[in-house]
Amino acid sequence: MNSAFGVANEETFSPSVAPAQNSSRRASSAVAIAFENLGVVYPARLRGESPKLALKNLNLRIEQGEVFGFLGPNGAGKTTTMNVLLGFVKPSSGGARIYGLDVTDTASRQKLGYLPELTYYYKFLTGRELLRFYAKLFDLPQSEAERRIRDLLKLVEIEHAADKPIRSYSKGMQQRIGLAQALINDPRLLVLDEPTSGLDPIGRMKVRSIIQRLKDEGKTVFFSSHELGEVETVCDRVAILNQGEVKEMGSVEDLIRSYNLNLEQIFLKVIGFDENGNALNVAA
Amino acid sequence: MKKVLAIAGIVVKELYRRKDFYVLFIITVLLSLVMASVNFFNDDKIVRYLKELCLLLIWIASLVIAITTAARQIPAEREQRTLLPLLAKPVSRSQVLLGKFAGCWLACGGTLVCFYLFFGLLAMSREHSWPLLNYVQAMTLHWMLLGIVIAFVLFGSLVFAAPSSNTTISFVLVLSILVLGRHLNKVALQFSEPGRTITYTIYYLIPHLELFDVRDLIIHNWPLIPWQYWAAALAYGGFFSALFIWLGCWAFQRKPVN
């Protein structure tokens, strides 16, 4: 494990997109993700229950090349937002677009990579078979698919277990094969739902280094996380969501400067808690 | 089409990496061999009786495989949440359902080939003849029946919340249609209105699975069904399979997957 998942990444992964400079990324005004007046209401599941407002009038634009952190307490609406983006949930109002394509269009996911929060893969397949299967769904030519599978297995350091069934993988290995499947199509946009959840500190550091590398390659990364230190390190901009509404949004540096607090303190303040985690009386 | 086949390939791999098929095949083989090993004075009728029992076992095993395999496809994807990374790829829900159908149908076709080959070899060892075309007609119609059943069960898996209730309801309905379907029009005559109209409506609406049951062709070595009737039965089966797949796609589009 200590054999430097992160270090090997630096050496072995050959990016297919040339690293872009921050300035050139900023110059590009292509909108990767656009949420417009997005609202989601879940119908009541039980009689007597009222429908649940999950998202309220969300407006958000994420530009190509940005690393965007989506923060919020549990139940704030982060996963619902991602579910709309991926076409899992239909919006009750408004909509979302990926590179100008409506999210209901399956073509909008052609250049998208998605890493779910937990490892949800076919346990009876081997790691290599899983990547081959997903490569076929992207219509990748076989030679290119095999080359990418080889590179990605190297990147996530599971070459030795590539032909073993996923059911025999440890949690960390499953998370790594998950990351490999998210990158199989060389995506322009990555949606990562708590990518470091359940990983040990070394695993977290390695995932962080991959996100950093993707950022350097000019990819757009949209991710949710509860690890605020990690968000502070890798994100260009963040949005803090609470009760289905964006309460604060901006670049990490600007927020830190304007609040004169660190990101964790800002987060707690925005969602109505003090530094010790006690609820603030907003009305007072 | 490539995406549909890729999904189908996963279904086939899953079926053959599970133990269900092998267990059912071994049970069928063992029971058939035990029955076939008994020699009742070389009486033809007894050989036919053994063939009938063996084919009945094959029918039961194939229905068990088809229904249980199809019933778990979508619910297992939802429960294990493998549906999330799958639908995050550029595939539509209709393609997923078509892939599931194609995979189940192809896998069941493979198991039917194994079962019929074994049955053919067993029958040939007793009768020293093998009417190949009879086997082709019986097996293709059997396969088409499984196509209707799989499409119906896949649709059911999007309607019923629990996979176990879908499996039970599907078994009951399929067996009821196979046993009672052909008699419903006669039953209707015994009812007064509106029961008569309702029973007739059911009679004309249900897929008549009994049309695909031509086991007698190989049990009694009957002459072949005219090929145009065989083709018409396949077209009838294709229509019902397409109808249930279409209904399944419609239901799937309306289902949130989170």
Sheet holding A93-98, edge to edge: A52-63, A31-42, A93-98, A101-102
pLDDT of residue B236: 93
Which residues face A42 on adjacent strands?
A52
Q: How many beta carbons lie within 10 A of that of residue A36, not counting itself?
A: 15
Sheet holding A220-224, edge to edge: A112-115, A189-193, A220-224, A67-71, A237-242, A245-251
Nearest-angstrom CA–CA distance, A243 and A74: 9
- Mean pLDDT, chain A, rounded, equals 80
Answer whether residue A90 shows pLDDT above 90: no
Pairing status of strand A67-71 against strand A245-251: unpaired
Q: What is the pLDDT confidence band of residue B246, given thresholds at 50, 70 and 90?
A: very high
pLDDT tens digits, one per residue of A168-185: 888 888 888 888 899 998
Nearest-angstrom CA–CA distance, A151 and B164: 42
CA distance B213 to chain A (A): 35
pLDDT of residue A275: 67
Residue A254, chain B, CB below 8 Å: the answer is: no
Residues 6+ apart with CB under 8 A from A179: A115, A156, A195, A207, A210
pLDDT tens digits, one per residue of B6-27: 999 988 988 888 877 788 778 8
CA distance B158 to chain A (A): 15
pLDDT of residue A267: 82
Q: What is the pLDDT confidence band of residue B249, given thresholds at 50, 70 and 90?
A: very high
Tell me the pTM: 0.81
**Greatest CA separation for chain B:** 64
Contact B90 A137 (CB under 8 A): yes
Q: What is the pLDDT confidence band of residue A41, given thresholds at 50, 70 and 90?
A: confident
Of B135 and A272, the one with more pLDDT: B135
Residue (of A45, A114, A33, A199) closest to B81 by Cα position: A114
In chain B, what residues touch A85 (CB-CB under 8 Å)? Answer: none
Mutate to test the interface with B, among A137, A139, A197 (most CBs of B within 10 A): A137
In chain B, what residues touch A79 (CB-CB under 8 Å)? Answer: 258
Nearest-angstrom CA–CA distance, B202 and B252: 25
Whole-number Cα distances in Å, A255 to A228, A249, A261, A267: 13, 8, 8, 10
Q: What is the pLDDT confidence band of residue A148, given thresholds at 50, 70 and 90?
A: very high
CA distance A261 to chain B (A): 36
Which residues face A67 on adjacent strands?
A221
- Mean pLDDT, chain B, rounded, equals 85
**C-beta contacts of A154-158 below 8 A and 24+ residues apart:** A154/A8, A154/A12, A154/A13, A155/A8, A155/A9, A155/A12, A155/A13, A155/A180, A155/A183, A155/A210, A156/A5, A156/A180, A157/A3, A157/A5, A157/A8, A158/A127
Interface of A with B in 22-51 (CB under 8 A): none
Contact A122 B18 (CB under 8 A): no
Give the SS3 label for residue B218.
Answer: helix
Among the ranges A22-36, A153-167, B141-155, which has the highest mean pLDDT value? B141-155
Whole-number Cα distances in Å, B238 to B69, B150, B202: 20, 12, 20
CA distance A259 to chain B (A): 36
Cβ distance B248 to B154 under 8 Å? yes
**Greatest CA separation for chain A:** 65
Of B32 and B231, the one with more pLDDT: B231
Contact A138 B82 (CB under 8 A): no
pLDDT tens digits, one per residue of B81-104: 888 889 989 999 999 999 999 999
Contact B85 A114 (CB under 8 A): yes
| ∠ Cα A109 A110 A114 (to 5°) | 50
pLDDT of residue B179: 85
Nearest-angstrom CA–CA distance, B22 and B26: 6
Contact A109 B88 (CB under 8 A): yes
ipTM above threshold 0.90: no
Nearest-angstrom CA–CA distance, B62 and B204: 26
In chain A, what residues touch B14 (CB-CB under 8 Å)? Answer: 122, 124
Q: What is the pLDDT confidence band of residue B255, given thresholds at 50, 70 and 90?
A: confident
Residue A172, chain B, CB below 8 Å: the answer is: no
Nearest to A88 among B9, B14, B258 (CB): B258
Q: What is the pLDDT confidence band of residue A203, given thresholds at 50, 70 and 90?
A: confident
Of A202 and A7, the one with more pLDDT: A202
Contact B84 A107 (CB under 8 A): no
Contact B3 A136 (CB under 8 A): yes
pLDDT tens digits, one per residue of B209-220: 888 888 888 888
Of A207 and A154, the one with more pLDDT: A154
pLDDT of residue B31: 77
The single-letter DSSP state of residue B225 is P
Contact A133 B10 (CB under 8 A): yes
Contact A86 B88 (CB under 8 A): yes
Contact B89 A133 (CB under 8 A): no
Residues 6+ apart with CB under 8 A from B204: none
CA distance A112 to chain B (A): 8
In chain A, what residues touch B107 (CB-CB under 8 Å)? Answer: none
In chain B, what residues touch A191 (CB-CB under 8 Å)? Answer: 88
pLDDT tens digits, one per residue of A101-137: 888 888 888 889 998 877 678 888 999 999 999 999 9
In chain B, what residues touch A178 (CB-CB under 8 Å)? Answer: 85
Which residues face A279 on adjacent strands?
A273
The mean pLDDT value for A19-31 works out to 48
Cβ distance B145 to B46 under 8 Å? no
Contact A106 B13 (CB under 8 A): no
Mutate to test the interface with B, among A136, A184, A193 (most CBs of B within 10 A): A136
Contact B84 A116 (CB under 8 A): yes
The mean pLDDT value for A259-279 works out to 77
Q: Which residue has the tokens 């009994």?
A: B210
Nearest-angstrom CA–CA distance, B249 and B10: 19
Contact A106 B256 (CB under 8 A): no
Nearest-angstrom CA–CA distance, A210 and A9: 8
Of A200 and A70, the one with more pLDDT: A70
Residue A145, chain B, CB below 8 Å: the answer is: no
Nearest-angstrom CA–CA distance, A205 and A230: 9
Residue A99, chain B, CB below 8 Å: the answer is: no
